[in-house]
Each structure stands twice: as structure tokens, then as C-alpha cells.
Structure 1
Amino acid sequence: MRTGKSVRKVWYKHMWVYIAGGILLFLATYLIIQGIRCSAAVEAGRERLSTYGAKTATLSYGNMSYVDKGEGEAILSVHGIFGGFDQAYDTCKDFSSDYRIIAPSRFGYLGSDVLGDGTPAEQATAYVELLDELGIDKVYLLATSAGGSVAIRFALDYPERTNGLILYCSAMPYKEKPKSFPEYAGPPTFLCNDFAMFLISPLFEPIMGMESSTIYSMLPVSDRKKGIILDASVTNLDMAKNFDNYSIESLQVPTLVFHAKDDKLANYEDTINAINRFPNCTFIPFETGGHLMTGHSEEIKKAVSEFLLNN
């Protein structure tokens, strides 16, 4: 015959089994629902990409996907991590009524192949080949985030093809040669897929300072994965690893730099430390706005328009 104590033990044991089972059932249900939502969002993302009218140039090393819209002097848009021709075009679309916007997918993103090791120098060379293909002699470079390394490299290597350099919360050169740097500067590879990024999107605000809805402009992540990993392992490290090859003081083109003080992805202090290295530079800081400089679209549009008109 069981004692009251042994009965309670059995009851507690069963209770914890039920609780654990309930938690597992909840998690399983949650993951299934999120999986369904993610699949729908990825499909919507693919449909969204189809509206850009992207073209493909077959270059010496492979394909490069790009959007080419508008007329007039050309702006070459150099997108950041998790980007592609969509992010590149959306960054510049406010200027499409007055300028020709060339918005390529960088190496590994949305239909673009990789030349060699995929370094910023090789990406700049590929851009020149694309511009030759399109019959464009000179461009304004407008770069965001990780794209800054590539745009700066382009302006240094091809000043004769560059009218001006515009950097939005961009990667910036170091003030002095760093003693050490990481081997990888980006999201872990296990997060570089549609479902993982969709699951963590509610954390975008506390981690990255941007709304969780930003995920919908990043999908499908699976079609950008190679580029994301390339940025994290090559592009984002190049200005540190090859510091001596970035002679910013020798830049021959005017530069316009925007940066928000509360940017959680590109350190504002790095910009402050580097800005004096640019010989002909206008710097416009914002107190708030984060990495996407939210709330400053009119100020940015006005400043960029003046820069484009005067240079």
C-alpha cells in the first residue's frame, strides 16, 4: 500500500512530465506556424524581386544581376550585407527621376557570381566591366554599410571613372593600422538561412536597432547566403587586413558621409576617427536614426541632391 508521500512523488513526477510535454507541444506548434509564415514570406519575397525588372550581364568571369533605371548621369549603388539589386535600387530610387540608377547585386547576391577571391578590389573591377558593358564612362558611387569598402576601393582604383563618393552609415577605413582584427565579421553561418533569420527577426530592434519587419526586405536569405558569408569573411575585413592599400588621403574625388550616432552595426566613433583622412569631405551626422537613418529621408535627399549638382 502506497503512503501519502509516495503518492505525492508520483503525482509530482507526472505533473512535470505533463508540463514538459506541454512546453514541447507549444514549441513544436510555434515552430510549425513560424515555418508556414516563413515559407509564405519567402514566396512573397521572390514575387517582390520579380517586380524590379533585373537584368543579367555576362561578364568575363560570370554573371552579374543588376537594375538599370532612369536617365541622365549615372549613380552606381553599392549595397550592404543581406542586400542585392533590390536593396541597391531602393536606396537610390528617390533619384531615379533625374539620374540613371545602376543597382547591381554584389558578388554572391541574387544572381551574381564571384570573381576570384571576391575581394573589394575584384568587386570594383567587375563593376568597371559592367559599366563598360553598359557604355557608362563615369558614375557617382552611393554605398551603404558593407558596400562602403567596395565603393572606397573603386574610388581609389578608378578615380577617372568616379564623379563622387557618397557613404550611408558605411564601413569606414581605420585611423591607423589595427594591431589585430577578427577572422570573421558578420552573422554566424548557421543563421544565414530563411527560417533562422525569420525566427530571430523579433530581436532585430534590441540587437541591430531596426524594426523586425526589415526581415521582409531581406528574404529570401537563401539566395543571398554566399554574398553574406563573403562579406563577413572577406569584404568586412579588407580595410583592416590591407590597411596600407587604402590610401584614403590620396582620394581624388569629393565625398559625402552620413552617419547616425545610435547606429548599432557601423560604429559612429569609427567614422569620427576616419573622417579627417578624406581630403574633400562633407560629413552630416544624425543624433538618431540607427543603421537605416530612419526619419532623415528628406534631409538626406536634399544633401545628396546638392552634392550631385555641385560635383
Structure 2
Amino acid sequence: MDTGKYIEQNKDRILTDLNSLLSQKSVSPEGEGISECVNLISNLCLNYGFDACEIVETEGHPGIVAEKVLDEDAPTVAFFGHYDVQSVKEDNWNGNPFNPVVKDENGKRIFARGAGDNKGQFFAHLCAVDFLKENLGVNVILLLEGEEEKGSPHLSQILEHEPLDQTDVVVCADGGMEMDDMPVVELGCRGMLYTHLKVKTGEKNLHSGEFGGLSRNAGFEISQILASLKDDTGTVKIDGFYENVREPSEKDLESVREIEKRTRFNPEKSDEFGKGEGLEKKFLYPQLNIAGIESGFGGKGAETIIPSEAEASIGVRMVPDQSSTEIMEKMEKHIESVIS
């Protein structure tokens, strides 16, 4: 059976099961719907051709390991992904984010929380196993975690139970499609360092009318630290940040230009800051991002306070040859130099 015939014969079943998966909450920060989602995925794995599916308990949310073994001597391919999703801000959605809807936007697309990160992707691998069945030619492991959106704090416990060092190939099921008309196998992605910066200037907030000019303001102080991380061209000012970044080869640059031609990339909307041009920024260079800032009062009305605490979330996307340990040490040294 060819791919088109399989899709035509199984379209209704596939869409029904995918919609059920997308409708099931699995919000890792709050833990909402996690156990129900794990049970649903376990059943789907068995229904789509896996021989066995095991729920791996951790100190956090459980992992899922499904296996399809054709021949002990055959190569083994592992697909790695996650079933958890981020928290939802209802104001950012036109409807219920856990009620999948189909829209005509650059072709028909399903919109729901988790459709593009990461339920849609790993569900496609289930369909591939179901389609190929005994013609897979390889053994398959599907390993899913439930805390990717929290920084994968207990992934190591899942890997202790199901080590992947004996597999021949590991494919990350998490990621998007750069091209609408052509599936692409990505050979790597940037690494991630995520940290929180907290500034505390006192035990409690103070009244600005009584203490303005007399007390340090945590909001101002964290702003000064964050502003020091980049210059006005977008270049990261942490000493040694770009130290181990590989210079892109001509082949690298040619590949980036080709992707730019074939994707929805709009150079006019490209950030002109930082190193590299166009999509080079995404594929070939590290980036530093402030994901969020919290301090004092930010609601409607007015509160005349001097905040005593401020916190920021900082993420660094790293490229090959960079070390998260070294980047963290350099960032800490930079911050210490700013506040000293």
C-alpha cells in the first residue's frame, strides 16, 4: 500500500485520534490532565502497531516508552519527543485551545494547544509505524517525556530506565517544518540554557512618597543588569560569549540561502540586530533572549510602590562547541561585574 492510499483509507481514524490527543489537556506547569494524557497515549501506541508501551514513573511527570521489535539483530531507531504543553492564556486564543479547529491558513491546518509542539509531530510517527507495520526494517522505540516545557528536570530518570546509547539513530520528534511543500530531516538544533535572575533590595515593598530617593528599586536594578547583556546592535556583551562559535562554511551559508528561498521567510521582517544575516541568526549563531520580567505592580490603576524584588527569565540558544557550563559561568561573571 502506498502512502496516499493509506492516508485515504485511514483519514477519519487518524483525525479522530489526533483530535482526541489535542483535546486532552497535559499542562506540565500545573500538572493538569497529565495522567489522563499518559493513559490515552499508551492506548494509541498499542492501537498504532507498537508491541508494548510502558509508563515510566519519575519524581515529576511520568515518561512513556513504546517499543516495536521486529528483529533483535536489526538496527534500532528511537523517536524522542514530549506530550506536555505550556500553560494557556485564554486571552491569546479566539476559542478553547483544547478544542481543535481546522483553518485555511497556507493550506488547511489544525489549530490547538500542542498541535505544533509536540503532539502533532510524535503522532505522525505513530502513523508511520502503523503504515509500515512489518515492513519497517528496523526496531522502533518511542520515548516521550512530560516535562519538556518545564526544562526536562527528570528526563535523566527516564533515560536511566530506557537508555538510548544502544540505539543506532535518535530522531527528535520536536520541531517545525521550514518548508510547506517538502519534509526536511534536520541534522541538529541549537542547545538551550535557561536560567532565572532574581534581585532583592529589601524585605518588603515601600511607599514611593515616603521612601522615593532613599531606597533602592529592584525594578531599576534588574533593568540595568538586563540592559548590559546586549549593546544597541543586538550583539551579546558577555565577555567570551562568542568565543567557541564555529565560523560558518560556504556550504552552511549556501544551505541557509536555499532555505530562505523555499520558506515563508521575509527578509524585511528579519531582526537586523546581532550576528549573521537572515536565517543565519537562527541556524548558525547563538542568541540570548529575555523571556519575561516581573517586578512590582503592573495591573490597572496605580500603586505607588518601590518594588523590593524583581525577577527575569533568561534563555540562551547555543550552537556546536559551546558549553552551557561555560556560558553560565561567563554570564554570572558579567552580572557580578555590573552589580559590583
TM-score (norm 1): 0.27
The structure that is helix-richer by fraction is 1
